[in-house]
Amino acid sequence: MKAVYVREFAPFDQAEIVDIPNPEPGPGEVLIAVKAAEANFPDILVMEGKYQITPPLPFSPGKAAAGIVESTGGKVMSLKPGDRVAVQVEHGAYAEKLITSPATCYPMPDGMPFEDAAALGLVYQTSHFALAGRASIKPGDNVLVLGASGGIGVSSVQLAKALGAGVVIGGVLGAENATIAKATGADHTIDLGMENLRDGLRDQVREMTGGRGADIVIDPVGGAANAAALRAMAWSGRMVIIGFASGDIPMIKSNYLLVKNIAVSGLQWSDYRERDPAWVGRVQNEIFEFYSDGKLKPYISKIYPLEDYAKALMRLKTGQAQGKIILKMG
Ligand SMILES: NC(=O)c1ccc[n+]([C@@H]2O[C@H](COP(=O)([O-])OP(=O)(O)OC[C@H]3O[C@@H](n4cnc5c(N)ncnc54)[C@H](OP(=O)(O)O)[C@@H]3O)[C@@H](O)[C@H]2O)c1
């Protein structure tokens, strides 16, 4: 099988494409013939040894895939060869074959393309846990999503709508990203590159929400946008910190939290995959149901062959990724 292989933690474009023997599933394991994998920003961090969790060397990166069960080891009752599944793993998706446990596999709806199933992986899971798990979204809540044309951004906008949000506002950089955020579901967009973002974001969010402000802020960006978003929140608002795509980890000013009864929480989605796989399974089913009901559709801006994984990750690294980038096998 072909695989992207990291032999030592180094700049991501130094990983190798190798041709190695297929792995064999042991008892309680399944072998997946991977058809598509999701390229994600954290994959870069993992490959460079900068992520919270780093696998033992050597390894293949990649946290979400979709494919076909090729064979099973002993003691596997829930899956059989030929089943089409989406897969969520800590690493290993950038390869033509993947060994995993059945608990990390989620049956795909009939007719769903593998690319879509892979794209409905890490970022949709993360956004669902942010909105429903951490922010306890209620019908009618107004939601501000930062980085709204990126992976987490598009999935958060779409899931906020599917989960019954009121006004959903996408914070973006530039007119092109505003067009994407609108086309993928945002009611309004705000340019995070504006002058005086501190006051401007608050004023525009208030105007778009009838003076109320954002009940929920989803923040995969950090930096100046985070500080401005905190000021744009409604009374008793909930902010969820997902990542720092701007490269700047913000210091939260606690006086805002006190004055408006605001709660700020962090989210490390992979913890749920380990600690509560049944919850992750229920969420994946709900995401697939929303897809089948036409309530969301991943926006895949680029598909690369596995061999071009570095081009895919470079787009993420340089902020040129819009929606999702997918790697295709074979
Ligand atoms: N906590 C978790 O469990 C979890 C799970 C998945 C991902 N993450 C993290 O979430 C973050 C985003 O991931 P992603 O997949 O959405 O990445 P992405 O597709 O690259 O999107 C990042 C977005 O952030 C925007 N952005 C970057 N710098 C900005 C700045 N200075 N001001 C405003 N916007 C800025 C980008 O806009 P432009 O394109 O306009 O620059 C882009 O829309 C990453 O840090 C990732 O590690 C965390």
For residue 325, the ligand 1 atom closest to its alpha carbon is 19
Domain 123-266 bears CATH identifier 3.40.50.720: yes
Beta pairing class for 324-328 and 30-39: antiparallel
Spell out which residues line ligand 1, taking CB within 6 angstroms.
Answer: 40-42, 122-123, 126, 147, 149-153, 172-174, 177, 192, 220-221, 223, 225, 242-246, 267-269, 316, 319, 321
Give me the pLDDT at residue 274, please.
86
Distance 149 CA to ligand 1 centre (A): 9
Q: Which of 134, 173, 226, 274 best tests ligand 1's pocket when mutated (most atoms within 8 Å of CB)? A: 173
Give me the pLDDT at residue 263, please.
98
| Nearest protein CA to atom 25 of ligand 1, as residue | 147
List the chain residues with pLDDT less than 70: none
Distance 220 CA to ligand 1 centre (A): 5
Per-residue pLDDT reduced to its tens digit, 296-311 = 999 999 999 999 999 9
Per-residue pLDDT reduced to its tens digit, 109-154 = 999 999 999 999 999 999 999 999 999 999 999 999 999 999 999 9
- Is 116 in a helix, a strand, or coil? helix
CATH fold match for the domains 2-120+298-328 and 123-266: no
pTM of the model: 0.95
Q: If you compute the radius of gyration of the chain from its CA atoms, what whole number of angstroms results? A: 20
For residue 149, the ligand 1 atom closest to its alpha carbon is 43
For residue 242, the ligand 1 atom closest to its alpha carbon is 1
For residue 174, the ligand 1 atom closest to its alpha carbon is 40
Q: Which of 38, 41, 169 best tests ligand 1's pocket when mutated (most atoms within 8 Å of CB)? A: 41
Sequence ranges of the domains in the chain = 2-120+298-328, 123-266
Q: What is the 3-state secondary structure (H, E, C) of the chain?
A: CEEEEECCCCCHHHCEEEECCCCCCCCCCEEEEEEEEEECHHHHHHHCCCCCCCCCCCECCCCEEEEEEEEECCCCCCCCCCCEEEEECCCCCCECEEEECHHHEEECCCCCCHHHHHHCCHHHHHHHHHHHHHCCCCCCCCEEEECCCCHHHHHHHHHHHHCCCCCEEEEECCHHHHHHHHHCCCCEEEECCCCCHHHHHHHHHHHHCCCCCEEEEEECCCHHHHHHHHHCEEEEEEEEECCCCCCCCCCCCHHHHHHCCCEEEECCCHHHHHHCHHHHHHHHHHHHHHHHCCCCCCCEEEEEEHHHHHHHHHHHHCCCCCCEEEEECC
Sign, Cα dihedral of 289, 114, 79, 74: negative
Distance CA(220)–CA(213), nearest Å, equals 19
| Nearest protein CA to atom 21 of ligand 1, as residue | 150
Per-residue pLDDT reduced to its tens digit, 156-187 = 999 999 999 999 999 999 999 999 999 999 99
Distance 42 CA to ligand 1 centre (A): 10
Distance CA(270)–CA(272), nearest Å, equals 5
For residue 324, the ligand 1 atom closest to its alpha carbon is 19
CATH classification number, 2-120+298-328, choose in 3.90.180.10, 3.40.1580.10, 3.90.79.10, 3.30.70.1070? 3.90.180.10
